A = this chain, B = another copy of it.
Amino acid sequence: MATMDKKNVSMNDVAIAAGVSLKTVSRVINEPGSVRESTRDKVHSAMEALGFRANFAARSLKLGRYGCIGVVLFHLSGGAVDMIDGIADAAEERGFALTMIKKRAGEKMTLAEAARRMSQLPVDGMIFNLRQMVDDFDTFEAPKDLKTVIITPMEHPTCSTVSDDQEGGARMACEYFLNHGHKNVYFVSGKKEALSSQCRMKGWRAALEAHGIEPPEPLQGDWNADSGYAAGLVLADKADCTAVLAANDCMANGVMMALRDKGLSVPDDVSVIGFDDELYKTIPNSILTSVKFRHRELGVRALNEVVAGLEAPSSRSRTLVSGVLVERSSVKDLRA
């Protein structure tokens, strides 16, 4: 029968085994320079032999901090992956781990509820990833001692926010159309509830209006290709439609397929721009010009903002991460 292992090996056990004091073991871990090499070796051997691992709870209790940042995922979509990736890498780099909770399907979660749950967990600060509106957005107040950053295109009265510049991206696409001689731009939206769709639509409207163009009625989609196809069938019949901005690449592809099925060519008859630049993964030789957001960068910024605010949780800032227009050949130059 194997020797009965004591459940947890403590620093005290190590100290006894190494014939030194508890505090010396602590020093070996936290300020190795301050202990003689011979002593350090003894302690290290003892730790090795006993399989010692520092107790997170005790350490955090004493230090008053955890070294963890909380992440609340109100909505976990495909685009969120790169963002989480950015958060995780930045956290890693700064010596933080992530503690994560998620809104359950069907459950209605408010910011206050999320904050309440997070504050029971080992976190020094937190990031909310919010892609849809929540009821208490404007009234929410973050715990005074827990730096809170919200990833959302909306401005918040008291919390720091970080966001893609969705409006700017949409404007950029419209300007691109207009600079290429187009006189109007049609818009195919994503799901109504999605803030990113709302913002993209807002940017599209603003850009057209800034040039004195009356925006046509937007077409309602649901992010998927089939809804884009349906929109494309409608647009094919509009004589004045030379440019279409779709709120994502999948719908843009649907639009293009519908146009082709109606005998129209992209870009010769109609030009198209999408969002997210991911069509090339699925379509060989993709020609779609698309507005790409740097989701990874977004995550990095969010995490850095939290860490920067750890000492002053009530500070507030607003960060916008600009998008990039990835140019391919789905837009025709109508000038001259």
Interface of A with B (CB < 8 Å)?
5, 7-8, 53-58, 60-61, 64, 66, 68, 71, 73, 76-78, 80-81, 84-85, 88-89, 92-93, 97-102, 104-105, 119-122, 143-145, 223-226, 228-229, 249-250, 253-254, 257-258, 279-286
| Residues of chain B with a CB closer than 8 A to A84's CB | 76
**Contact of B250 with A282 in the complex, beta carbons under 8 Å:** yes
- Do A54 and B120 contact each other (CB < 8 Å), given the known contacts A84-B76, A229-B284, A257-B284? yes
Q: List 28 A-B contacts (CB under 8 A).
A: A5-B144, A7-B64, A7-B145, A8-B145, A53-B120, A53-B143, A56-B122, A60-B122, A66-B122, A68-B99, A68-B122, A73-B88, A76-B85, A85-B102, A88-B100, A89-B105, A92-B101, A97-B121, A99-B99, A99-B100, A99-B122, A223-B281, A225-B280, A226-B280, A229-B285, A257-B283, A258-B284, A282-B282
Interface of A is mostly: mixed
Complex Cα gap A249–B121 (Å): 40
A279-B282, A282-B283 known, 16 other contacts, Cβ within 8 Å: A7-B145, A8-B64, A53-B120, A56-B60, A57-B57, A57-B58, A57-B60, A61-B61, A68-B122, A85-B102, A92-B101, A100-B100, A225-B280, A225-B286, A226-B280, A258-B284
Q: A97-B99, A99-B98, A102-B88 are in contact. Are A122 and B57 (CB under 8 A)?
A: yes
One of B105, B282, B284 near A249 (C-beta < 8 A): B282
